[in-house]
Structures are given as structure tokens and as C-alpha cells.
Structure 1
Amino acid sequence: MSMPFYVPPEQVMKDRADFARKGIARGRSVIVLGYDRGIAFVAENPSRALHKVSEIYDRIAFAAVGRYNEFESLRVAGIRYADLRGYSYDRTDVTARALANTYAQTLGAVFTQESKPFEIEIVVAEVGVDADSDQIFRLTYDGSVADEQGFVAMGGASDAAEERLGTGWRPGMTLSEVLRLAVDVLGAGENGERRALDEAQLEVAVLDRDRPRRSFRRIVGPVLTRLLGEPRETTDAPAGLLGSSATSSPGDPTTTEEPPGGRGPGTPTA
């Protein structure tokens, strides 16, 4: 009778972690960073139908890298959790912290109990009444949660990207400044070469704290072109484009909004 093959538990966990990290590194990067009026999300994503960044609830958004089918299931579960909690209690009871804890439990259970871990990293962000109350939570494949301050980069060469962000980012930057910084970081190659990323290759969204309820907005078309082309001395986005709800309407062709109540068909992509 042959003896069963034995693998030490620590080796199993190491192999799973290596497997997940390799899968995540193949994904195009996503950068999340704060600006003076909220939180911005910038992803390298040429698809207009499959999204890496999506709305979860009134002031909460979700960004992810990795395998699309895996983080899409988490995104949908997060929307259901937020809708149920907001309906059962109060809309203010839906927080990014609670959602991040729920995601962490799911990711940790999959990592330790299933044969294959999720090859994903996600960010759950919530915009507050001021910059000090903004929250950005980063969750990795094993369920680890990190409370990030100011910015975070996922996927690809995330370590190098975060080092560049640490050099270029500062509190109080305008939306135009953080978008140009993010595009500059995304276009930086590992060997010093640079790639030119245009608007068609980018997915950009914001959580705008000045909006009274639903803070999430996608930035596309002429608005994105204008923001990426603004000179350094510009202090903010043009009035009426990303400001209060009195100057921004759902029919504005320069911005897009998720359909009411359900965060819509748009979903994140690997």
C-alpha cells in the first residue's frame, strides 16, 4: 500500500499565494487616489462595456484587477449586500468598512478552503464630507485588508507605480492634476520606456463629495480630454461639469451616470 503524498501546509499556502500574485500581475493596472473634491479612479481599460470601476452604493465605489468572472461575482454580491442593508436599516448604515470586512471574509475562505484562490485585488472606497474622512480599503487575494491613505495602485507593476505616486501625489491636488499624474504613472514602463495613453485606452471615474447623494460619476469624452489637457495652474475642473447637482444633469453628454438603484450593467474587467 502506497503512502499518501504529503505537502506541508505552509508550502500549500505559499503555492496558492504565488499562483494568485502571478495572475494579478498580468492584469492592467488601476490607480485610486484622492483629490480635493473626492476620490478618482483611473484604469487602463480600452473596453467601453466591461468596467474595472463601478458604483456600489450612494458614496461607495469598487475597483478591481485580475480575473473578470471572479471579481464580478464579488461586485454583484456587494451591491446586494448594500441594497439589503440600506433597505433594512438606513442608507447611512452602508459603509465601505463593513463592505470591505464582508469581502475579506469571502476572499479568506476561498483562499484557505478552495483548491484555487481568487486571482484578484480589489479596492472599496467611500467619499466622506471632507478629505480626512475619505476611506480607501485595499483587499488582496487572501482576504488581507489595508486602510490606504491618499492613493493605491493595483495590478501590473504595482510596487513601482506606488513609488511614483508617493513621489508625485500630495493632498489637495485638483482633479486635473491627479488624472495627469495617474496617466503618467500608468504609461511608465519597467525599463524606462514610456507609453502614450489616450482617452480611448482609459477608464476614469470619480466619487465627487459635492454631489448630494449619488457621488459616482464616469468621466468620458470632451470632459476627460479637457482635464488631461489642462495646464498645471488650473485649479479645478470646469464649472458645471463635475460640480454640484444643480449644474450637472443625468442628460449631460459629457458625463455618464449609472442607472438608478442598480449600478447598471457596467461591470469591472480584468
Structure 2
Amino acid sequence: MSMPFYVSPEQQMKDKADYARKGIARGRSVVVLQYDDGILFVADNPSRALHKISEIYDRIAFAAVGKYNEFENLRLGGVRYADINGYQYDRRDVTARGLANVYAQSLGTIFTETNKPYEVELVVAEVGDDAETDQIYRLTFDGSVADEHGYVAMGGQADAVAQSLKDGYREGASLASALRTAVRALEAQDSERRLEATSLEVAVLDRNREHRLFRRLSAARIGDLLSAADEGASGGASGGSGPGAGEGGEGVEGADGG
């Protein structure tokens, strides 16, 4: 007679965590970093239709790696949560912290109560009036939340990307030099790979804008900023030379509705 198959709860959780981690590592990376005028989001993402970076609310954005249908589901839930709370109470009551708590509960429940955990990692960020009041929360597949400062790397070979960010990150950098740092970090996973403007998805939360602070950057604008950063570096200039780092540029207004 065969013995009943038993897996301890600890082993079950470990297996689920390993499964989720492998799924997330297969995806392409996303980095989030602070710059002088706000928060910059850069994804290695050649798709023009499937976004990894999205606006959630006036001052709040969302970045994700992993399974698209799973994080898209979470994004839509976040937009609904923000809209309902902003409408019922006050727009200022919708915060990244509140949203991070909602996501933590959802992810935690999915991880413990279903057979297949979500293969996702998220960042929820809110731009403040200055760098001190910016908020960046990172959420993992099991609902853990970390309060991050400066920069975050998720997905792909995140350790290599994070190490490059650690070496290159400068507080208060211009948009152009922060973007160059981000792209170098994404390229750190593969020495052969050069990321062109067209294979990047880039957006900012720009604290100098009015009302909706989220803005997507077009490929032309990304190219201009990277050229400006390279000229600045080769000319020995330390800031974002060339096109003003905080300009409106030709960015497409980035509301993904909901």
C-alpha cells in the first residue's frame, strides 16, 4: 500500500517562493531611481503596447516585472482603489503607502492561499515636494514590502543591475545623467548588449508639473537625453547638459486609464 504523499507547510512555501523567483528572474529588468526633479522609471521593454510602467494617480506610479497578465490585474486594481478613495474622501488621501498596503495584502493572500503564487515584483512610488518626501515601496510576490531610497532594481539579473546602480547612482542627478546611469545598469547584465532608445520604456514623476505628474518619454526624447548625458560626460560637465533635464519634451501623456 502506498504511503500518502505529505509535504510540510514550510516546504510548500519554499517551493512556491522558488517558483515565483524563477519566473521573475526570467523577465527583463526594470529600474526606478530618484533624480533632482522627481522619480525616474526605466524598463528594458521593446513593446509599445504592453507597459511595465504606468500612472496610478496624480503623484503615484507603478512599475512591475514578471507575468504581464498578473501585474496588469494588480495595476487595474490599484487604479480602481485610487479612484474610489480619491472620489469618496480627498485626492490627497490617496498615497503610495496606502496602495502598497493594499497590494501587500493581495499578494500575501494569493501566495498563502492559492497553489500558484503571482510571479511579480512591483514598485509603487509617490513623488513628494522634494527628494526627502519621495516614497518608493518595493513589493515582492509574497506580499513583503520594503521602503526604498535612491534606487531599486527588479527582474532579470537584479543583483548585477543593483550593483551597477550602487556604483553609478548620484543623489540629485539631472534627468539625463540619471537615465544614463539606469541604462548602464540595465546593460550590466550582458556585456554584449547595447540598449537603444527604441528598446526602452521610460517615464517620470516630475514634481515640477501641475496636477498629474506622470509623463512618458518618447524614443526621440530618450535619445536626446542619452546624447546629452554622453556629451556632458565627455566634455567633463557634471550636470545634465544639452536639453534641459526637467523639460516637458515630447513625452506622451501617460494615463493608462483603467
- What's the TM-score once normalised by structure 2's chain length? 0.93
Aligned counterparts, 1:203-242, within 5 A: 203-230=201-228, 231-232=231-232, 233=237, 234-235=239-240, 238-239=243-244, 242=246
1:45 corresponds to: 45
Is this contact kept in 2: 1:96–1:124, CA < 8 A? yes
> Residue 73 of structure 1: SS of its match in structure 2?
helix
> Residue 61 of structure 2: SS of its match in structure 1?
strand
- Unmatched segments (≥5 aa) in structure 1: 266-270
2:192 aligns with one of 194, 200, 203? 194
Which digits, 9 at most, give the CA deviation of each residue in 1:5-45, with x for residues without a partner? 21111100100000000000000000000000000000010
2:85 corresponds to: 85
* Letter in structure 1 aligned against 2:218: V
2:120 corresponds to: 120
* Letter in structure 1 aligned against 2:254: E
C-alpha displacement of 1:237 = 6.8
Aligned counterparts, 1:156-171, within 5 A: 156-171=156-171
C-alpha displacement of 1:194 = 3.2
C-alpha displacement of 1:160 = 1.5
Distance 2:68 2:183 in 1: 22
> Residue 115 of structure 1: SS of its match in structure 2?
coil
1:23 corresponds to: 23
Label 1:200 to 1:221 Cα distance change in 2 as closer, same or farther (>3 A). Answer: closer
Is this contact kept in 1: 2:197–2:220, CA < 8 A? no
Which digits, 9 at most, give the CA deviation of each residue in 1:93-138, with x for residues without a partner? 0000000000000000000000100000000000000000001100
2:183 corresponds to: 183
1:146 corresponds to: 146
Is this contact kept in 2: 1:30–1:65, CA < 8 A? yes
> Residue 208 of structure 2: SS of its match in structure 1?
coil
- Unmatched segments (≥5 aa) in structure 2: none
Overall identity of the aligned pairs, in %: 61
Give the RMSD, CA atoms, in angstroms. 1.6
2:110 corresponds to: 110
Label 1:67 to 1:171 Cα distance change in 2 as closer, same or farther (>3 A). Answer: same
2:251 corresponds to: 255
> Residue 80 of structure 1: SS of its match in structure 2?
helix
